[in-house]
Structure formats: C-alpha cells, structure tokens
Amino acid sequence: MWFDQPRNPNSPLAGLKVLELARVLAGPFAGQILADLGADVIKVESPEGDGTRLWGPPWVEREDGSREAAYYHACNRGKRSIVADFRNAADLDRVKSLIADADVVIENFKTGALCKFALDFASLAANHPRLVYCSITGFGQDGPRAHESGYDFVVQGMSGFMSLTGEPDRVPVKMGISISDLSTGVWSANAIQAALLMRERTGKGQHIDMALLDCSVALLSNQATYHFATGENPPRMGNAHAQVAPYGVFATSDGHVILAPANDRLFRRLVDMLGRPELAEDPRFVSNAGRVENAQLLDAEIAEATAKWRKADLLDTCQRHGVPAGSINNLDEVFADPQVIARKLKVDVGALPAVRSPFSFSDAELALDLPSPAHGADQEQG
C-alpha cells in the first residue's frame, strides 16, 4: 500500500508523503530534492506523460529496452509514477484519495487551472487543513501576469540575469543551466519544509505561492543592492568582478585558469608568486579600490605573467601559496575531479547514473534507492 513504510527510516524526511502534480523542471526538481531527503513522492502524470520524457536526444535506455530522454532523469529520481486523467471521474477520485493521505502537494499548473477539478488549495484544505500545498508558476498567483505561462529563458531575461551575463560589448546571454527553473525548485523545497515546521506549531497547513520570476529576482543579491545604492544598472562584465580586481580568467601557455585573490593579502601573495612583487607597491594597485579603477591595466600585467606558466604548474603553485584559483572544467573533468569523487556527487541509482542532492548529514542518510520511474510504473499499487 502507498506510504506504508518509509523508503529509508534514517533519512531526514522519512515518512513524509508528497503528491507531485508537476512536470518539466521546477516542480519535479523540488519533488526530487524531497525524495532524496527520504520523502515518499508519487508523481501523477497525464496519459501523455511528463513532456520531458521525450526531450531527447540524448536518451537513457532501461534494461527492458524502453527509453526516456536523459533530461527527464535529471529531476525525477526517487519517485513512483501513476497515470491519471483529471477529466475521468475515477482517476480524479483516486488522486483525491491520495491527497487525503498526503502531507504535501506540489503542482505547477497555470494559475487557477486546477479549480475546475477541485484540486486547488482552497478546495482541498476544507477537508485537509494540515495539507501543505505548493503552487509553482511563472509569475505567481496574483499580479498582472499571473495567468501567463512562465519559461526559464524568458524569465532569465525579465529577472535581470541576462543583463548581467556576458561580455560588455556582446549580446546578453543566458546561463548554461536552467537557473530560473532550478532555483525555483530549490526555493520551493525550502519553503515546503519551513511550512511543515510551522505546521508543527500551529497544526495547520498552508498554501505556498512560488514564482520563477520571484525566485530569480531574489537571486540578484549584491547586484540588486548595487542598483539600490547607486540608482544605476550594474555593468555586464563577462568574467570580471565589479568590486574586486584582479578577478577573472587568465591565459597560460596551455589553457586558462581562474584567479580570484579577493583581498590585499591574497593579491600580494599572487604577485609575489608570479615574480611581480612590485605590482603590490604600485600606487595604482595598493588598494582594492585602486585595483578596480585600474583593472584593465592590472589584468594586462597579470596576463603577461601567467602566459609564461603551464596551467597545471600555476594551479599547483596557487594551491601551495593559498591563492584562490581553479581550472575551467568540462563535465568529464568535473566527474573525474578527486574532490568530486571524494564527495560522492555522482551516484548510481538503480542502473542509472545521477548527481545526488548536495546534502551531507552526520546522523542521517539520503534515500537514493529508486531511479526515475517509467510512465505509470506504479499504476497497480496503492
């Protein structure tokens, strides 16, 4: 039966019951985080299935020869899947019976779309006052754009991300990951757990209203305070930093490295290491403010010095001298990195490789026992 036994009794959210009425990325990613933390997550899919099952290539083939897009497996680990057509009375009744036993519902339908099936928060809370119900949309439950669909690329532009990303004299660019969707999944999982803690005090669940635009704007952080403090738009700076110099990507004789000496002490270490100690005494570069003001001149001096080094030698020397530095890894290099291997960030769940949620507990474990479910794999259970 559904929810009879927790998947891993020693996981932080063991026994938590979650119904996921979500597809594509933000909602399923929130559900996967909760599943990794031990929650029992039932993914309710339409007869057509989550559209990301078809977002290939590349494809992941199961042992029985069936396959789904690799994209789908990035955000659906640890769940069970049933199929329900809300227009079918029996299917709708089954979903409502599952909600009756659930602690959490995650949904990412357009604002108001679930009201006609009485699957909205107000309808469900009348009979299930302890229910924590998380709605994920592009623009939230109110405001002039509330009924519009939200797309990661569009929100990256609207939120200001793209005005900050890219080279100053080139077209603005989006990030290489779906940062608006993924950050919304992370914020949502955090909000759900906060609401569950509050329920312990009040005995009541509540509606959580999460929006891609809100979650993206919330990540503007120091760039937003730059704007508030100056009334100006922060410049697009490529790999440079508006408040710290030197700070960027520098060429060596056989590749590129990142150098990030973010204070006077680290700057002195860097230039000593590079054989250019006089740069630390140059009046233009003595303070961080001066280095920022003269960043182009300073970067040229640093670049001239780094060009004489091999990448591996420079990185090794930076490490020995305590200068923040790093390589620019392709993904094959990421998952071959000894630190990534030591932290066990790549895991095999079933026969499928995956990136685990980045939690490490002293007295608890993640629940990494279930691969992403096949469409309707658990239809006959419960």
172, 163 Cβ separation under 8 angstroms: yes
Beta bridge partners of 21: 107
Q: Which residues contact 314 (CB under 8 A, 6 or more apart)?
A: 252, 257, 306, 325
Tell me the domains of the chain and their CATH numbers: 17-219+346-355 (3.40.50.10540), 248-333 (3.30.1540.10)
> What is the pLDDT, as a whole number, of residue 7?
82
264-273 and 311-321 helices, crossing angle to 10°: 130
16, 103 Cβ separation under 8 angstroms: yes
**Residue whose C-alpha is closest to residue 28's, from 15, 46, 44, 14:** 44
> What is the pLDDT, as a whole number, of residue 254?
92
Antiparallel, parallel or unpaired: β 17-21 and 104-107: parallel
Question: Residues 151-173: pLDDT tens digits?
Answer: 999 999 999 999 999 999 899 99
Q: What percent of the chain shows pLDDT beyond 70?
A: 99
Of 181, 209, 214, 299, which residue is the catalytic one? 181
Mean pLDDT along residues 346-363:
92
Q: Tell me which of 63-67, 98-102, 200-204, 355-359 is least confident.
A: 63-67
> What is the pLDDT, as a whole number, of residue 2?
55
42, 20 Cβ separation under 8 angstroms: yes
134, 188 Cβ separation under 8 angstroms: yes
> What is the pLDDT, as a whole number, of residue 241?
86
Cα–Cα distance, 210 to 183 (Å, whole number): 11
Question: Residues 300-344: pLDDT tens digits?
Answer: 999 999 999 999 999 999 999 999 999 999 999 999 999 999 999
Cα–Cα distance, 41 to 82 (Å, whole number): 11
Mean pLDDT along residues 128-146:
96
> What is the pLDDT, as a whole number, of residue 382?
63
**286 has pLDDT over 80:** yes
- Is 4 catalytic? The answer is no
